[in-house]
Structure 1
């Protein structure tokens, strides 16, 4: 018997409530009143003796109290339960419980355990044996039959695994065990996602076991999202995520890129369009940072599929060198490989074949699995070697070739050339040439060298010319000043093919003896892919030990004892219990073994059409609450109250009348003490926030806006701590610890400067918060906005980045004054240090301040301009990233470029900004003293 959300374990006892009217009548009934006869001699005694009166019936409120007490006792004996558990339709003589514990169950594992516990409790009440199997454990696991206590112990000991479910193997084990048991209830607690051959596995299980009934449980919503690829491209890092098809609503996620120390280096925004199952996003940061990426993770997704580890993006590549020209020690500077070796030795492991022939030498190099092969002065490649090279490039290898006279004999449309070539050389300079040596032009925007400056000291005397095809511009990575290609490149499957149209020694050009040549080769090697185990350990190994694993919740953890080495061969090994996802290898290099393949999809699991009765169960925590004890406690309390009332009505309290005076005195004393304490309470008018205010104004504190994005907020705090330490070392100012403020509720007036990093992943401030910021600026405070996107077209230039768009949305709600880049004579350039630029972790973006206009009409200004301080500053150079330090005082993030003085200039920029904020027009007047004296005629 049940009335939701309340049920009773013994509902028949509720019939006892029908006795309440009888109890009412019994409590109200009294004996008949006796007839009174007056005996005259007793009238005098009647006047002298005290007459006790007894009511002929109990008061109504006592009767009601006793009825309530009786009702509570009856209800408690009926075993009431609030939010009763869902009925478990177990009709079989045994329970076969199959639970998914794969990577998708990590976030909701507690509800899966609670549901399985309810099934086991029901089996215990029915005294039936239990089979318990998990689809992501080994096939030889113990599945029972168990008793309820042993089944619960095993259930609580098992945790989600970062591997797919192997339903077929586990179903076979369960089917074998069910054949020797009476008809059982088969309970399937799935994760809601389909696996390979699921339909066949389910139908085989039902056909071979014929259970009494089936309990089917799947999640109500499929919110699982996983990463399928993370590709380091020419100018960006592209991340791809997938979700289940039933999740048709639009969704926006943020993916973070982390280095091997867990520091966040970049973000990508992924948007799932309505009904779409795939989304991509780009992390646009300089290649120096992209090569430090060790893992990509989706924010808020606590599963192993939402993390993707990377291999080879920050390790040295193996590069194979091959030349047909014999090495002449006497003429080493003319050797085709001499300058290549010197350029690549600092960042690559170089290998060369022992065989001097092309065919044998190329085969020998390919056996060592290099990421890059450099052919210095080769011509036609033999057919057998050409086939191997093409296949190697299709699988991700990078082939780099250089011009030589031998290439003139190669067919123009050869598949080992990125562009067709003419059969003549171009001579620049000399008596028979109209044109002089050509310099190198600006690198094209689509080139991996686009961020390099054009070398002014490089000239080209000879080159191989490319056929002028329509797509030649798309393949040109470097050109001469007249537009002819110097370096061309093309994709070959997953790999690349690159051709330098000059020789690798200085006879055709001065490029090989320039620093630009080193940087160009570095970029090509960093864009290449490591090939197999040879690139990881430098030896022909076939297995790699586990190094760092991905846990079911997405955390990077050390390997467990049962994790086995990963066999590396021609076929990709699947993710399994023996080889869970993670990194395999060692400190010298690792191989990434990720959970989801690049073509993986997440498909919802459709309930098969079973031939036996099916009951659908929902996952839920056990929210049932037994009300028997609370009701009995309430009844006992009412009984105590009734007893006290009866004693009072019977005159027990008359004994206390003698102490009435003492009681009155005690009451007076207690009242006096209470009055004193109340007076003291009213006299203390302090507030909880007073101590915070006192601490905030006792010292100068730099503040930063708490955005809610953990990586951004931690960098902001570390950055202001680094700037605070620099201020203490270089100036007389000793600020307190940086303070994080929430602009929607914290007091802002305590802080002269607030650093606000703009992140598109952070929530957009509401109008009330924007109004608080505007009030703060009107009262003399200053806000330093930092979009941190100088390399993604920062504030004020070109197409806006997501961070700049968010800044524009924020500024749209403020009365912002006209802005301009800091002029050369601005006080910011000389408030403490003499500065010409204001770099941060990035360099090149300007620092925007209030324009130097007439401010006589202050009514229309957002702030008072009397102190000469701009209320708003905007930069895109990531100042906090350059200031940030760790616990040891070491820099937390690298600068771009890697100029060691850039961080010093960034800290000096911070000092100038702080001094500018604190001193106002005093510094401005000091800077312009000569001009003021001249104007005064002194």
Structure 2
């Protein structure tokens, strides 16, 4: 293969190019044919008077045209091939094809077959035996055989919906080879590392090198685009989907599609990867009832087993058992402890109530149905024989939800099925003899299932059972009253948990059961429970029934009814259920109920294959549709040159005598253009890519040679002029006062220009300027997300003084812009912020005006230390700044360094501090929170005189 990625099929023909100098010499000596003239005597006499001789040599441009014609014919016969396949096999042993045929190989399987078929063809031509081993096959007959047998085996193979077991295939290959080293060992990899049980990286390439092949090739295809869904969880408000990809270069936006059991799409969502991100989480927003019908989640335009995630019964409704301490009153259902619970959970769960009135029998009946949740409403003391099976059921993963009431308030404090120690009796709120007024609910804590729910505003608690204070009471409290007393507490017990509502399940103790928050709280608790039901079996784990294969996935992510050699799935095994040769991905069970098995377990991450080895590894791509021959193009060029030569000769010989003499110059120009076209057509292959040229590189290099201050071009000449001169003045000040020497300021069009070149962009807000488009605002949002900072300056601090609070016109325009941006919470620069000490010590940030604070991103409190604060961003730099002090107006200078605008009030000290503000902002942009390090504290305190 040459440096230009092309080769000649018949290179010996190129020897004819040696004859080109001879052809040149002969053509130069061959004069053109003499003109044929009619005999008229007057014509002859005219020629006698004005002699004109026939040139002795052919014109140089005609000779060059014929030379190119000859060269084109010679090159066409030599048949140059661009991007040729150079698969010459090494000698000394059999050809070994080690082929990945797992799920990631499905998109480019045809090209893999073509590549392997070509290698087998090379081996067939040389009489070399061939070994074919597939990494996703359960057994491999790796004995060397003929090329014909290898070709039959290759075409009979197909990609499988499995993770390749390269270790098994390698052992089969090693056993078959024995001590015979292979000649060429070609590993057709999907590019995805398959970590083993006790190692982090797949070292299969290194293992293959231990076979001592004469040549080791690594042929990689399109596996770099592999992507797989690893988990899907039915959250409170949406379906969250986690996926992993192999190629983490650049951002990616993918579309998620949810389908029902009939394969019909019923909802869609988005999955976004940022640059460098290998694992991302997306969501599909849909009502709970619709999410209950999801049967599979897929990624659009990706047809592999990994891009499909099957959902089973575990994602559907839970089975909930209901128990009450009193009999239901059919004539007064609103007073029943279970009435509100049934109404709240009926849309989301399968509710079962025992037929027996005896609690011991009722509990036994409920546990026999393997429920996920059991809810007890006002049950105090349980039968003694019921505690042990209930505790086993909770330890195995069950969720027990209890509601208080008069019975529980009178129950013994040492109840093992209560999450906290309760005080005897209940606390009454309201009334003549009560302790206090009815209490509302406090904000839900940031942990627990209720996190994110808004605080109920229409709920009052009139009575509750109290918990004894313990050191861990706050950690176990999922909801509390405004006075801090617990409302909902919990305790984990092995795999299960116990949850207690400290109020009753009916509306006598509180307004909670008749509020919409009660429905959401119960739904979230039930959703947290184990989906498949829980048993209360005692001894060793109960032998789960073996589920037969029901529907299986193909390598392209299609569910089929053919189960092949798949074996029943043992769901009672410890640990995660993993796909294997015996249990490929699919659904196991029957139409009445099934378990989903996906190709990758939860938490898996796709990583690139490690190509390091103890010997040199030749890395190549798959063939198929890339190589092309230039022979037809060259013959076409030769034909066009021949046609041009014929026309020119006819013209010279007078065939077009009526054409004026200046046409000769046109003919010469046409010949030169024909030569140029021919050379260009040959030197530029038809499959060359237009994006190989990068006309913007010179501009990019020019912008990256120095740090440039940038401003947004508003389209208003006066505003843009002040911005440009203001940043020029700040650049001069930075050069004079600091070691930073910025380049000339640059005005940017946020709709078209690249913004990533600038750490800070100054945006003067003008209400009379055109409103930026949504695309432009989205580009600003992306710029801020990627680490850039935008300084918005409304320049209206003077007009805002004495205002009643209504925003100015520029302020309204800023609000309209920020309405389309995902900005964080803002606050004025705190007195201890890095901006106050990044270069100068500042207490305010004036510009041309002094009436506006400088707003930045609000910092997040660090819970481990209430006195310390940490930035929300990774580098401590705010992505947004807002002021109205007209910074550019204070910085603006003319060519002589004279200020263009006066400060208000007119004070050169204010202008000096405005420049210092600009210096601090630029140093903050370039160094982040460096000046917040403790090493600077002594010097800062000394400067402050403290």
With the length of structure 2 as denominator, give the TM-score of the two structures: 0.56
Alignment partner of 1:188 is 2:187: yes
Q: Is the 8 A contact 1:132 1:151 kept in 2?
A: no
| Equivalent residue, structure 2, for 1:163 | 162
Q: Structure 1 residues 523 and 624, CA, compared in 2 at 3 Å: closer, same or farther?
A: closer
1:83-482 matches, cutoff 5 A: 83-91=83-91, 94-105=94-105, 112=112, 115-116=115-116, 118-126=118-126, 128=128, 130-137=130-137, 139=139, 151=151, 160-171=159-170, 185-192=184-191, 193-196=193-196, 213-218=215-220, 226-231=228-233, 259-260=258-259, 262=265, 294=294, 304-305=305-306, 308-311=309-312, 315-322=316-323, 337=338, 340-353=341-354, 362=363, 364-378=365-379, 393=394, 396-403=397-404, 416-426=417-427, 433-435=433-435, 438-442=438-442, 444-446=444-446, 448=449, 451=453, 454=456, 456=458, 460-461=462-463, 463-480=464-481, 482=483
Compared CA separation, residues 418 and 104, structure 1 to 2 (3 A): farther
Displacement of 1:400: 0.8
SS of residue paired to 1:369: coil
What is the deviation of 1:317?
Answer: 1.8
Cα distance, 1:465 vs structure 2: 1.8
* 2-structure distance, mates of 1:182, 1:252: 44
The answer as to whether partners of 1:785 and 1:874 remain within 8 angstroms in 2 is: no
Which residue does 1:574 correspond to in 2?
Answer: 578
Question: Residues 516 and 871 of structure 1: is their aligned pair in 2 closer, same or farther, counting only changes over 3 Å?
Answer: closer
Correspondence 1:594 to 2:598: yes
**Residue 98 of structure 1: CA displacement?**
2.4
- Residues 436-835 of structure 1: pairs in structure 2 closer than 5 A: 438-442=438-442, 444-446=444-446, 448=449, 451=453, 454=456, 456=458, 460-461=462-463, 463-480=464-481, 482-492=483-493, 495-504=496-505, 517-531=518-532, 543=547, 557-559=558-560, 561-562=562-563, 567=569, 569-571=571-573, 572-576=576-580, 581=585, 591-607=595-611, 615-618=618-621, 623-642=626-645, 653=655, 766=751, 778=768
Instruction: Give the deviation of 1:372 after TM superposition.
Output: 1.3
Structure 1: distance between partners of 2:224 and 2:245 = 8
SS, match of residue 465 in structure 2: strand
Matched residues in 2 for 1:787 and 1:565: separation?
Answer: 56
Q: Which residue of 1 aligns with 2:730?
A: none
Alpha-carbon spacing, 1:620–1:436, altered in 2? closer, same or farther (3 Å): same
1:905 equivalent in structure 2:
none
Uncovered stretches (5+) of structure 1, i.e. residues with no partner: 32-42, 535-539, 668-743, 745-763, 789-801, 819-849, 864-869, 878-938
Distance 1:636 1:780 in 2: 58
Distance 1:636 1:366, change over 3 A: same
Residues 240 and 279, structure 1, Cα contact 8 Å, conserved in 2? yes
Deviations 1:26-76 (A, max 9, x none): 556689xxxxxxxxxxx99x9899999876655544444444333333333
In structure 2, the partner of 1:72 is 72
Question: Partners of 1:418 and 1:305 in 2: how far apart?
Answer: 42
1:58-113 per-residue CA deviation (whole Å, 9 max, x = no partner) reads 55444444443333333333333333334444435643322213233456667655
Match status 1:20 vs 2:23: no
Paired residue secondary structure (1:575): coil
* 8 Å Cα contact 1:172/1:205 also seen in 2: no
Q: Deviations over 1:682-733 (max 9, x none)?
A: xxxxxxxxxxxxxxxxxxxxxxxxxxxxxxxxxxxxxxxxxxxxxxxxxxxx
Q: Tell me how far 1:779 sits from its aligned partner.
A: 8.1
Does the CA contact (< 8 Å) of 1:358 and 1:382 recur in 2?
yes
Q: How far apart in 2 are the matches of 1:287 and 1:484?
A: 34
Q: Does the aligned pair in 2 maintain the 1:215–1:616 contact within 8 Å? A: yes
Shift of 1:499: 0.8
Is contact 1:438-1:480 (8 Å) kept? no
Cα shift at 1:297: 6.8
- Mark the CA change 1:430 to 1:16 in structure 2 (over 3 Å): closer, same or farther: closer
DSSP 3-state at the match of 1:18: helix
Instruction: Give the 3-state SS of the residue equivalent to 1:465 in structure 2.
Output: coil
1:92–1:212 Cα contact (<8 Å) kept = yes
How far apart are 1:3 and its partner, in Å? 5.8
In the TM superposition, residue 184 of structure 1 has moved relative to its aligned partner by 5.6
Change (3 A) 1:330 1:815: closer
Q: Any conservation in 1 of the 2:569–2:588 contact (CA below 8 Å)?
A: no
Whether the 8 Å CA contact 1:784–1:872 is kept in 2: the answer is: no
Deviations 1:294-332 (A, max 9, x none): 577779987654654555687322112345767788998
Give the CA deviation at 1:648: 6.0
Deviations 1:860-893 (A, max 9, x none): 7999xxxxxx97794899xxxxxxxxxxxxxxxx
How far is the alpha carbon of 1:487 from its aligned partner?
A: 2.3
357 and 585 in structure 1: CA distance in 2 versus 1, 3 angstrom threshold: same
Q: Is the 8 A contact 2:89 2:122 kept in 1?
A: no
Q: Is the 8 A contact 1:259 1:292 kept in 2?
A: no
Could you tell which deviates more after superposition, 808-817 or 113-122? 808-817
2:568–2:583 CA contact under 8 A, matched in 1? yes
Give the match for residue 732 of structure 1: none
**SS of alignment partner, residue 571 of structure 2:** coil
Q: Assess, with a 3 A threshold, how the Cα gap between structure 1 residues 637 and 437 changes in structure 2: closer, same or farther.
A: closer
Paired residues, what number?
690
Q: For 2:185, what is the secondary structure of its paired residue?
A: strand
CA distance in 2, matches of 1:560, 1:241: 26
Shift of 1:377: 4.8
CA distance, structure 1, for counterparts of residue 182 and residue 627 of structure 2: 30
Superposition CA RMSD, Å: 6.2
1:809, 1:205 → 2: CA distance?
A: 47
Q: Is the 8 A contact 1:229 1:598 kept in 2?
A: yes
Three-state SS of the structure 2 residue aligned to 1:373 is strand
Matches within 5 A, 1:846-925: 874=819
Q: Cα deviation per residue 1:105-152 (whole Å; 9 max; x = unaligned)?
A: 456667655644553453354354554444335647999957579949
Decide whether aligned partners of structure 1 residues 403 and 217 sit closer, same or farther in structure 2, where only a CA change above 3 A counts. same
